[in-house]
Structure 1
Amino acid sequence: METTSRVGAGTAPDTTTAEDPQGTATADGVSAARRTVVDGFLAATFPWYGLDGAFTGPRRLMQVGTAADGTVQHGSIGHGDELSVREAGAEKQRFAVVVSMASSPVRRSGDGTGVLDATTVSSAAWLAGSGLLACTWPAQMDHSLRDDWLDQQTETAFELADDLDGPAWSALSLPVDGVPVHFHYRESEYGWVLAGSTPEGVHLGAYGRGMSAYGLGFSLIEDIETYA
């Protein structure tokens, strides 16, 4: 799947000042950096999903991924603690990230030089698995070994996502807008990953740690700008 990230894996770049602690404010009171993030989500042609109203903690926009032609292909919504592998006690964080991904067939690339793979539930599982790895690599690991560890674990995550009917995955039914939906689910020492598709055809992936996946529910986000 050929996508690029529009913004960083956590939040928008820091543009704060003493006079404007939220960044360079726009006319509607939203910082310029945050406005860039919101605009990326607004450019999508598919709906976004997050945890349903049973979750009452903080929520935030994380990042969108785009194809070579700039089309938004997927994006992530964070819930709970902000993700960090650099802070002491990061292993005790409680968070869940929901990945929404457009369903699309095999198609020509934007520059006409090739084709883009179709997006499937496996694609969402891969995004969720790699997202979990990016925020949970062992903090005590020497930085010289980090890249090798991530390469190895990322390859494993790709292979697992390509075999959703394999023994590494179990079935889990969770509500999406109140309707039970079948998800593929797996746990590891780093957290959990799940993936499925909404009745509307959007592929959903999710990953988390410190929050049980068994009690989660998902719902369509009516107004993504409220997350700004």
Structure 2
Amino acid sequence: METTSRVGAQAPAADGTAQAVPSARRTVDGYLLAPFPWYGLDEAFTGQRWLMQVGATADGAVEHGSIGHGDEPSVRAEGTLGTSDKERFAVVVTVAANPVRRSSDGTGVLEATSVSSAAWLAGVGLLTHTWPGQMDHTLRDDWLDQQTETAWALADDLEGSDWSALSLPVDGVPTPFHYRESEFGWVLAGSTKEGVHLGAYGRGMSAYGLGFAVIKDITAYA
């Protein structure tokens, strides 16, 4: 799969691949450094919107980030599918469409980002807000590792039977997406004419009625 890194949404990496920046949560600074437009749900969604995290390379170049919509899901909460089945949220992941380029230390080449990159980041994002009921704390890491591998394999096979086609508006233009559902929620991924890939995941909100649009003023989310 063409993506920056399998650890792009989890931990720092020394080779220049994308990494999460925990301090970016709740602040707009990281988002303002991005050389690409950020996407969220369009104006048809009138609920709460909130910043999450950006992912950057070792030299600080922002490559992806997420915007939340609806109820903020409780991370790593016990219970069936999070804290409550009443949680209704959708998260939009924007991924820069980067060509093959050299790592920051000049010792290697990073693969291009693709729709699969957005699909994997969205799949892993959904997992971070999921904790199956009756699972022991000590087993969750093993479960998460296993599910992350599954998300990776699914994102690498977007034409497979686990995905279906879904057309949703992006800046008002019907756009094809890859879509799948699971017991934990839904995930979708596609590309825009603005040179970015979009991923999204959610639970309690139907993906079929969503639309996406460029965020005109990201500072309004801070």
TM-score, length-normalised on structure 1? Answer: 0.86
Aligned letter for 2:206?
A: S
Q: Does 1:39 align with 2:29?
A: yes
Q: How many angstroms apart in 2 are the aligned matches of 1:122 and 1:134?
A: 19
What secondary structure does 2:153 align onto? helix
Distance apart, 1:137 and its partner CA: 2.2
Alignment match of 1:174 (pick from 148, 168, 172): 168
The answer to whether the 8 Å contact 1:190/1:209 transfers is yes
User: What is the CA deviation profile of residues 159-179 of structure 1, one whole-angstrom value per residue up to 9, with x for unaligned ones?
Assistant: 000000000000000000100
Aligned letter for 2:130?
A: T
Matched residue, 1:125: 119
The answer to whether the 8 Å contact 2:78/2:132 transfers is no
The answer to whether the 8 Å contact 1:68/1:111 transfers is no
Distance apart, 1:142 and its partner CA: 0.7
Gaps of 5+ in 1: 13-33
Distance apart, 1:140 and its partner CA: 3.1
Distance apart, 1:87 and its partner CA: 6.4
The answer to whether the 8 Å contact 1:60/1:227 transfers is yes
Q: How many angstroms apart in 2 are the aligned matches of 1:175 and 1:52?
A: 9
Distance apart, 1:116 and its partner CA: 1.2
Distance apart, 1:199 and its partner CA: 1.3
Distance apart, 1:139 and its partner CA: 4.8
Matched residue, 2:12: none
Aligned letter for 2:44?
A: A
Question: Where do 1:153-172 residues align within 5 Å?
Answer: 153-172=147-166
Percent identical among aligned pairs is 73
Alignment match of 1:202 (pick from 196, 200, 205): 196
Q: CA RMSD in A?
A: 1.4
Q: How many angstroms apart in 1 are the aligned matches of 2:94 and 2:22?
A: 16
Return 155-164 or 104-113, whichever deviates more. Answer: 104-113
What secondary structure does 2:85 align onto? helix
User: What is the CA deviation profile of residues 20-42 of structure 1, one whole-angstrom value per residue up to 9, with x for unaligned ones?
Assistant: xxxxxxxxxxxxxx4xx201000
Q: Does 1:3 align with 2:18?
A: yes
Q: Does 1:187 align with 2:181?
A: yes
Q: How many angstroms apart in 1 are the aligned matches of 2:171 and 2:134?
A: 40
Aligned letter for 1:151?
A: D
Distance apart, 1:90 and its partner CA: 2.8
Distance apart, 1:145 and its partner CA: 0.4
Q: How many angstroms apart in 1 are the aligned matches of 2:59 and 2:31?
A: 16
What secondary structure does 2:144 align onto? helix
Matched residue, 1:61: 51
Question: Where do 1:74-153 residues align within 5 Å?
Answer: 74-84=64-74, 85-86=76-77, 89-153=83-147
Runs of 4+ in 1 over 3 A off after TM superposition: none
User: What is the CA deviation profile of residues 40-74 of structure 1, one whole-angstrom value per residue up to 9, with x for unaligned ones?
Assistant: 00000000000001101000010000012110000
Matched residue, 2:215: 221
Q: How many angstroms apart in 2 are the aligned matches of 1:154 and 1:73?
A: 20
Gaps of 5+ in 2: 6-16
The answer to whether the 8 Å contact 1:107/1:118 transfers is yes
Aligned letter for 1:55?
A: F
